[in-house]
Every structure is written in structure tokens, then in C-alpha cells.
Structure 1
Amino acid sequence: MFYAVWLEGQLVWNIPLLTGLICIAVLYGCLVTFYTNIKIYHKQPLLFFLCLGILYVTLGSPLSTLSHLSFSFHMMQMSILYFIIPPLFLLGIPESFPKILKGINKLFLPPLVALYTFAVLFLMYHLPIVLTFLSKNSFVHNGYLVLLFIMALSMWCPIVKDRNKPFALLSGLLLMPACILFIITGFIGGLNNPFLAQMTANLCISPSAISSLHILPPPFNTGLDQIMAGILMIVMHKFALILTVRFGKKVHVQEWGRMG
């Protein structure tokens, strides 16, 4: 199934990203050890390390190539990046970290503004003209994704810290148009996959490599693929909300119990 992760005969691993994430993990471990009463094996550090691990698998491992082969795999990657990783990251940050670390919050937009901005940018990202443009400009594309991630961190703060259910409901409603876009376009014939087109143009994977993979069955890269992508996004967002609220309760209870 995973022969698609081969690039001209070799597995692609993002070593610079792995190095950066290891440095972040070491820095986090030092801060937890010297500035909190939390042990590395407690729930919050484990959630943070899990966040880093999922981030690497999603962006830096050979499996990330699959996100270019179909819209459903692409939407799974996007959902993990913006619905799974941000709450795990925030849940892994202890309240007792130094105040200087909390000053990072000033770099973010207010949560409600971030939510509306994220919803608009996320919808625009999946418009055919925007998606095609970004697929041809890697620097702009990466900048766009980073901006989305920053907005995602801001919009998840009220859900993680305050377990704000009305805000969580609003987030689901505002993200619905992007899901509906995929579902509707799937029913009316579907969109061309610009990322797959770029790979066949030797920007990511050579045409010979693509033609020799044969890993995706007929439902993929069709109208059904896009319908699956829209439904997948709805399910994963709901799943992330449920897990965030449940983990949030346990994490805050345990942390305040240790501080008491």
C-alpha cells in the first residue's frame, strides 16, 4: 500500500524537520524539569511529545506523500494539522510555565478573530484557482500553511483552556463551507488535483514513479474521493472537539492537584 512514499527509488524523510522537533522536545523537557512540578512521564508532557510525533509523521515522513495523491488523503493531513495537533500542543503546555512563555499569546489574534480568519483562509485554500496557484509557488504555499497553523492555535485556545462549548459549536459551523465545497464539487464532477499534476511535472515525483505506484483504488481521485474528503473533515473535527474537551478536563484536574 505504501509504495507511493518512494521518490525516485528512495524513501523521503525530512531530516531538518526531525532535528528541529527534537530540539523543541529537549527545550520543552528542560522547561518542564526546572520550572514545574510535572514529571516527563506525566500526561501533559506525553501529550506534547505525541503532538511532535504526529507532526513529523504528517509532514516529515514518507507518508506525507500520500496527501498529494488524493483529496481524501489531503483532507486527512489538513485535519490532523489543524484539528489534532493544535489542541495537543496547547494541552501539553503547563499553566505553571514561566510568564515569559505566556507572552507568546500576544503574538496571536483574539480567538474569535482567528476563528473567522481561519475559516475564510481554509475555504479559500480549497478553491480551485487558489489551490492551483499555491501548488505552483512552494514558498507562498508554505507561508499560507504556517499562517493557517497560527490561526488554528489561536482558535483552539478557548476550547482547550476554557472548554467553551458555544465557541466549539461556532467553529464547526464556520468550517462547514469548506466541507460542503468538497461534497458539492464531488457530486457535480469533481476537481482536478493540482498537487498530483505538479508531481507528474517532476516537481515532487516523476511521472514514471507515479505510473508505477498503483496503490489507490478507483474511489480515489474521483468525485467520490472529494465527497469522502468533505465527510472526513467533518468527522475528524468533531472527533478532535470531543477528545480535546475530555483530555482538557483530566489534564487541568491533574495539574492543579499537583500544584495544590
Structure 2
Amino acid sequence: MLTLDIFGFKALWSPYFLLILIVITVGYFVLTTKYRSFFPDGEPLTKTQGALFLLSMILLYAIKGSPVDLLAHLMFWVHMIQMAALVLVVPPLFIMAVPDWFWRKIFSVSVIDSLFKLFSKPLIALIAFNGFFSFYHVPIIFDHIMQNAWLHAGYSILLFAVAIFMWWPLLNQMPEHQTLNGLKKVGYIFADGILLTPACALIIFADTPMYATYSDPHVWGQVMSLCVGSANFDSLNLSGPQLFSSISLLHDQQLGGVLMKIIQEIIYGVILGHVFFEWYRKDQSDSEQEMKQPLNPLLIK
């Protein structure tokens, strides 16, 4: 069994991507601490927000810049874990990490504000997210995107963006952007889980390998050439991803679909619990406020 070391440091650790994330992280902390006074309603950055942002950047590098990204081109089940983290884990952390006053500054740009108002509408957000995710995993589309570096990068950014829109109605804390109440949020989560199921089921119950990216040595070679460079890959004289894994292509594919569904259910379960207790606390708080209000003298008479 071959190891990933043969591909070299640059392919394994993506130093340029790491540099981009470091710049973004530094920019975030500088703007939210040292220069927050330039924002009209800037408030101190909380430890929780800072920790969540760091965690989101670390996870983003782990799935797109570390050897995990290379493994995702060798094993489909790793690709599905990568996708789950990209659209189900990092976006919620990112939304909660950015302070409301910073979001308001972002929305002061009319184009961004218009896009958010349109694509974060619950029905549109659900259709866009699940549609683009399912569309991406149609075999002919998946294989085409994986063989083009610009399409692959662009579609990854698009999936991340529609994931932000999908999570926004559930997690944002801005009163002017609240479009769902407690009960509607519960229904939203259930609907999201149902809409993602067909894509996972198609992958799980297929009786043959669907993706040429992993089953066709020629297509796989083109995909890997984008990761490690044509010259480097050609010199390795590799015949296919089976050199790096003992699992069959069909079982690899089925495992990927199962893992995606399990991870989705776990994350949605956590968010469902968060939404339920948030709804319960708000209901209790409203009840206490009503009890504290003085009785109307007219009603007493």
C-alpha cells in the first residue's frame, strides 16, 4: 500500500492556501479588536466569537489544505466527509463567529444586502443549497468539475456560499434578519434533512461505481495531475486510487453516502436541540415578563 508522502510537501499541505487563511484570520482580529472603533456600533469581540472563528479557519484548512484534501481525490468516503465539513460544520461556526455589528457593515454594501435578502429566504435557501449539492454529485457533472481546477474551486466557493444562506435563517442573531420563529425553525431543519436524502440514497444504493474520477484510471490521472502537477504525477507512474486503499470502489462509494447522511443527522440533531432550547427559554422569559406586568385595575373591578 502506497503512502501520501510520494506526492510531496506542496501537494500535501497547500502552503498558499494556508497563507490566505492566515491573512483572513489576522484581518478578522485586527478589524474586530484594534479598529472596531471605526464601526458605529462596534462592540468588544467576545472570547467565544474569537474561538469560533479560529476553529472555523482551522477546520477549513484541515479539509481543503491538509492531506485530507488529497485523500478526498483517492477515496470517495473522505470526499464526503470533506463536503460535510465544508457545508454543514464550517458555515455555522463562521456565522456565529462574526459579530452582528460587523455583519451590518457587510450589509451596508447594497449588492451583498440584496443577495442575502433574496437567497436567505427560507424556501429559496433550502432549494438552492440542496439543489446545488445534489447537482454537484450527479456523476457526469462531478467528473467534469473534478477535472477542471477553476470549476472545482469555483463550485466549492459556491457550495460554501449557499450553505451560509441555508444556515442564516437558523443561526443569525440580528432582529432585522429574523424570518423564522421556534416552530418554523424546527420544520426548516426537518425539511432540509429530507431534501438532502435523495442525493445520499442515490449514492448508497447504487450497485455499480458511478464516478469515473475514482474508477477510470485516465480520468483519475487528470484529476490528480491538478493536485500534484502534471510532471510530478507522470513521474510517479500510478495506475489508480486502489493503490492507496484496500476497500472496493463500490464499498467506498456506499460508505461515503452513509457517512454523509450520518454526519448530517448528527449536526441537524445538535442544531435542533439548540433551536428547541432557545425557543423554550424565550417562551419562559416572555411568560415571566407577562406575570411581572401590573394588573389592569379595570379588570380587577
The TM-score bracket by the shorter chain reads 0.7 to 0.9
Among 231, 239, 246, the alignment partner of 2:258 is 231
> 1 CA distance for matches of 2:29 and 2:9?
37
How far apart are residue 48 of structure 1 and its match? 1.1
Tell me the percent identity.
30
Name the count of aligned residue pairs: 245
If you compute each CA radius of gyration, which structure gives the higher value, 1 or 2?
Answer: 2
Letter in structure 2 aligned against 1:64: D
Q: For structure 2, which runs of at least 5 residues remain unmatched after alignment?
A: 37-41, 173-179, 282-301
State whether structure 2 residue 165 is matched by structure 1 residue 154. Answer: yes
Which of 140, 157, 171 matches 2:151?
140
Aligned to 1:18: 18
Return the letter of the residue paired with 2:89: I
Q: Is the 8 A contact 1:7 1:209 kept in 2?
A: no
For 2:197 and 2:169, the matched residues in 1 are separated by 19
- Give CA deviations for 1:48-71 in whole Å, capped at 9, x if unaligned: 110011101111122210001111
Q: Could you tell me the TM-score, scaled by structure 1's length?
A: 0.81
Match of 1:106 among 93, 104, 114: 114
Offset of 1:210 from its aligned partner?
A: 4.4
Aligned to 1:49: 54
Structure with more contact order per residue of length (Cα contacts < 8 Å, sep ≥ 6):
1
Amino acid at match of 1:228: L
The residue number in structure 1 matching 2:227 is 204
1:43, CA displacement in angstroms? 1.3
For residues 132-185 of structure 1, the C-alpha deviation after alignment (integer angstroms, 9 at most, x for no partner) is 221222222322221111111000112223662211111111111110110121
RMSD in angstroms over aligned alpha carbons? 2.9
Q: Which residue in 1 is equivalent to 2:45?
A: 38
- Aligned counterparts, 1:184-223, within 5 A: 184-185=205-206, 188-194=207-213, 197=217, 198-201=219-222, 202-205=225-228, 206=233, 208=236, 210=238, 214-219=243-248, 222-223=249-250
User: One-letter code of the match for 2:188?
Assistant: F
Query: What residue is the counterpart of 1:86 in the other structure?
Result: 91
Taking the aligned partners of 1:19 and 1:10, their CA distance within structure 2 comes to: 13
Worse-superposed segment, 65-74 or 163-172: 163-172
Give, as a single letter, the amino acid of the residue that structure 1 aligns with 2:135: M
2:72 alignment counterpart: 67
Segments of 5+ residues of structure 1 without an aligned counterpart are: 254-260
C-alpha spacing 1:85/1:10, structure 2 compared with 1 (3 Å): closer
Tell me the distance in 2 between the aligned counterparts of 1:170 and 1:31.
37
Which moved further from structure 2: 70-79 or 196-205? 196-205
